[in-house]
Structure 1
Amino acid sequence: MYLTVPETAEYLGMPVSQVTKYVLDGRIRAVDDGEQFMINKEQFKNYHDHLEIAKQQIDEWRKNILLPDRDVRDED
């Protein structure tokens, strides 16, 4: 399934200008049909999965941060 740039921006949750820049820079593959860029949705099928995994890892990391103990003294 092919999406237009605005549809892709909505799908990814990005501004249209950023998606357009990524297409022009080659970071997002697209086909120019003469009027607009068409972007294959399948290239993003792992995007949301990886994004959710990264969010979970960050949340776990934040939960497990060890704060320095104020009672610890450096006695050499």
Structure 2
Amino acid sequence: MYMTVPETAAYLSMPQEQVNRYILEGRIKAVHDGEQYMVNTSQFETHFQQLELAKQQLEEWKATPIPDDVDIKDED
């Protein structure tokens, strides 16, 4: 599905200026239809999958308890 730059900015939760800059830099692939740039949203699927995986790994890491250090000597 193709979206305009303002729709893409809302979809990615970033400013329109940044989306425009990424399009001009080639970091976001877009097609110019004579009036405006159109962006295919399928190019962001792996990005969102990687974000979800990173969030899941961070939550697992936070939930892992810190193991007791074997070098600690009890002074009692």
Q: Classify the TM-score, shorter chain.
A: 0.7 to 0.9
In structure 2, what residue type is equivalent to 1:72? I
Structure 2 partner of 1:6: 6
RMSD: 2.1
Structure 1 unaligned blocks of 5 or more:
none
- Provide the rounded CA distance (Å) in 1 between the counterparts of 2:51 and 2:72: 38
In structure 2, what residue type is equivalent to 1:41? T
Closer, same or farther: CA 16–67 of 1 in aligned 2, 3 Å:
farther
Structure 2 partner of 1:62: 62
Task: Please report the TM-score for the alignment, with normalisation by the length of structure 2.
Answer: 0.76
Structure 2 partner of 1:24: 24
Task: Please report the TM-score for the alignment, with normalisation by the length of structure 1.
Answer: 0.76
- Measured after TM superposition, the shift of residue 47 of structure 1 is 2.3
- Provide the rounded CA distance (Å) in 2 between the counterparts of 1:58 and 1:19: 27
- Measured after TM superposition, the shift of residue 13 of structure 1 is 1.5
Structure 2 unaligned blocks of 5 or more:
none
- Measured after TM superposition, the shift of residue 63 of structure 1 is 2.2
Percent of aligned pairs with the same residue? 54
Structure 1 residues 18-61: Cα deviation after superposition (integer angstroms, max 9, x where no partner): 21111111110001122111111111122222211111111112
Q: Residue 42 of structure 2: SS of its match in structure 1?
A: helix
Aligned length: 72
Runs of 4+ in 1 over 4 A off after TM superposition: none
Q: Residue 45 of structure 1: SS of its match in structure 2?
A: helix
